[in-house]
Amino acid sequence: MPIITHGLPRSRFMKKFILMGLIALVPLAGLPQENQKSVSKYKTKEGAAYSSNPNIPQQTKPLPSINKKSFKKKSIVNQEVEAWNIYKQKDYPKACTLFLELYKKKSSTSMAEGAYYSCTKAKNTKPLLALRGSPAFDEVWNKNLAQKNFNQERYARALFYKPDLFPQLENTHTSSVTLGFSGRFKSGEDGLDHLNSIMLPSLSFKQGLSDLSQIQFKLSHVMLKTGQADNLSLIGSPANPPGAFTFGPTEKLAHGLLPEISFIHEGPSRIELGSGTTPIGGKIFPLPTGFFKISFWWNKAFVSLRLFAEPTDESLLSYTGLKDPYTDDDWGRVLRFGGVADHNVTLGERWNLSSQILWNYLKGSHVKGNQTFGLREQIGRVWKTSVFENIIVGPFVQYQNYHRDLSHFTFGHGGYFSPKHFVQGGFGALFQSQDVKKTIFEGNVNVGLQHIRKPKTPYFPFNNDGRFYATKNQTGPSVSGNLSAMTLVSSHFTPELGVNFRYGDDYKDIAGGLNLHYFFGKRKNLVRTDMNHP
């Protein structure tokens, strides 16, 4: 449509002058609204770009190739309009080249935004590094890095780059103290695989070391009880047939201590370190435990690797050790040494694929060595609502294999679940509330079938006397899940509740707890990293 000039001066010079003025007043191209939900809607975290530019005219036809000579003759305002139009046509490499040249002429925020978004879309970010150090470009760079980290729930890094951009995150890095109470009931035969445990209390203190680092100290008082074993129970070194106990078997740990220290640093990747011990006060001298975890994020993928040495808390034998009621020898206290890798990727907008692979070597005092390999895969349909950030529902399959079955309680066994084959399949649902809210929660539920195969295994792995536990095959339903929730009662105080459960054909394992958090700085909202999962 031609520009109307009726009523304007008729001299060629005046027409040309007025026409150039009208072009200069045409609104410039708006910054592409990449994932934008605007700063005013900061309660969510999907924003990515913030623009000071007005919107450009929509281009309805493909642009012809640029004549470099005529382009250079245009005013810098018209050059920018044309560069944004090229961006709108998704010719990102050409827009990238133009904005880089324009930024050299005029180091403005709008030029910096054009260079950043077009070169990023063109996957040609190397030239952008040369613009670092320029105030206008650094502002755009930091805003986008902050938003990217916010989207990944890496709030310490988001605040590090632009502390004024997210007022809803005020004091999320503040020091805190937590008082915790928890309990667990695991079914089984008294004196053997039955286990009740209570942590009363646990006390932890979290302190920031820098804007990107935190350290936490935790001390827990633990009480364990397995009950009294029957005289005919296969425990320790029974004769053939088993006779009366010579010594009283271990029934409980009345007062144990669990010290822990952990550290987290939010660099380009997240690094977590931790150290502790097996329960102090058990039948066998405690050993140090620890872990190292590193996590990486990409636009639609997440990968983590965790290496660890950790206790096996499936029975009193595997956790702290037992006394042999026939010889008075101690054995047990099994440690797991190994690693686990997790991978999570978003497939399009509606699907999610998660994978896990693990390998452990298990060794205890006078317990035969063992190793295990396992993997898990799940694909799920993703829903998002105003309440839930994610609801992921879909099928899963899980497999785990142990080299030896050491699940029994005669001398040399470890008292931990270790079948030759463990296969499980079914449907799982994971849900997470919207983050950065006064109330947050998350959990999952898995329902399916499982098959367990336990092979023929000797009573005494170190000294086989010809007696064996029989082969056992079992197939049946399985249900498991967990839920954690916390709410900000005041700007300094929040309670957190948690529950975990696992059910099988003849198996029950239920745990729950309460954490009371006190924040030294005033909080506006809670974030998922506040959760301790009691």
Tens-digit pLDDT profile for residues 147-158: 999 999 999 999
Asked if 403 and 357 touch (Cβ cutoff 8 Å), the reply is no
| DSSP state letter for 456 | -
- At a CB cut-off of 8 Å and minimum separation 6, what does 7 contact? none
Distance CA 86, CA 127 (A): 19
Q: 229-234 contacts: CB < 8 A, separation 24 or more?
A: 229/189, 229/190, 229/191, 229/192, 229/325, 230/190, 230/191, 233/189, 233/191, 233/192, 233/409, 234/408, 234/409, 234/410, 234/459
d(CA 378, CA 343): 11
Positive or negative, the CA dihedral 179, 438, 37, 140 is negative
Does position 343 have pLDDT exceeding 50, yes or no?
Answer: yes
* Assigned token pair, 19: 């026409």
With a cut of 70, say whether residue 73 has pLDDT above it.
no
CATH architecture of 176-530: Beta Barrel (2.40)
pLDDT above 50 (res 48): no
Q: Is pLDDT of 47 > 80?
A: no
Instruction: Provide the percentage of residues in the chain whose pLDDT is more than 90.
Output: 82
Place of tokens 């452990």: 360
Residue 67 DSSP symbol? -
Mean pLDDT (whole number) for 175-179: 98
DSSP character string of 321-355: -EE-TTT--EEEEEEEEEEEEEEEEEETTTEEEEE
Averaged pLDDT for residues 92-106: 94
Contact 402, 374 (CB under 8 A): no
- Does the pLDDT at position 57 exceed 90? no
Kindly state the average pLDDT of the residues 260-270.
Answer: 97
Please, which pLDDT band fits residue 4 given cuts at 50, 70 and 90? very low
Query: If pLDDT is split at 50, 70 and 90, which confidence band does 248 have?
Result: confident
Indicate whether 34 pLDDT > 80: no
pLDDT tens digit string along 493-516?
A: 999 999 999 999 889 999 999 999
Q: Please report the pLDDT score of residue 70 as a whole number.
A: 66
Cβ atoms 81, 99 nearer than 8 A: no
Residues of the chain with CATH 2.40.160: 176-530
Q: How confident is the model at residue 145 (pLDDT cuts 50, 70, 90)?
A: very high
Task: Give the Cα separation of 196 and 216 in Å (integer).
Answer: 27
Residue 242 pLDDT: 84
Q: How confident is the model at residue 67 (pLDDT cuts 50, 70, 90)?
A: low
Going by their DSSP bridges, the two strands 493-504 and 195-208 should be labelled as unpaired
Q: Is the model's pLDDT at 481 over the cut of 90?
A: yes
50 against 476, higher pLDDT? 476
Is the pLDDT reported for residue 278 higher than 60?
A: yes
Residue 197: C-alpha distances to residues 181, 235, 351, 490, 511 (Å): 11, 21, 39, 32, 9
* Burial zone of 528 (CB within 10 Å; 0-12 exposed, 13-18 middle, 19+ buried): middle
pLDDT exceeds cutoff 50 at 30: no
Write the CB contacts of 4 (distance below 8 Å, at least 6 apart in sequence).
none
Which whole number is the average pLDDT over 247-252?
A: 91
Answer yes or no: is pLDDT of 534 > 90. no
- Residue 314 tokens read as 């499936």
Q: Over the chain, what is the mean pLDDT?
A: 88
Region at 385 (left for phi over 0; alpha for psi -120 to 50; beta for the rest): beta
**HEC string for 414-446:** CCCCCCCEEEEEEEEEEEEECCCECEEEEEEEE
pLDDT at 279 over 70: yes
The answer on pLDDT for 41 being more than 60 is no
Position with higher pLDDT, 275 vs 249: 275
Banded pLDDT at 218 (limits 50, 70, 90):
very high
Angle at alpha carbon of residue 300, lines to 296 and 302, rounded to 5°: 25
User: What is the model's pLDDT at position 313?
Assistant: 97
Residue 319 and residue 326: Cα distance in Å, rounded?
21
Return the percentage of the chain with pLDDT > 70, whole number: 86
Q: pLDDT value at position 506?
A: 86
Instruction: Count CB neighbours of 232 within 10 A.
Output: 11
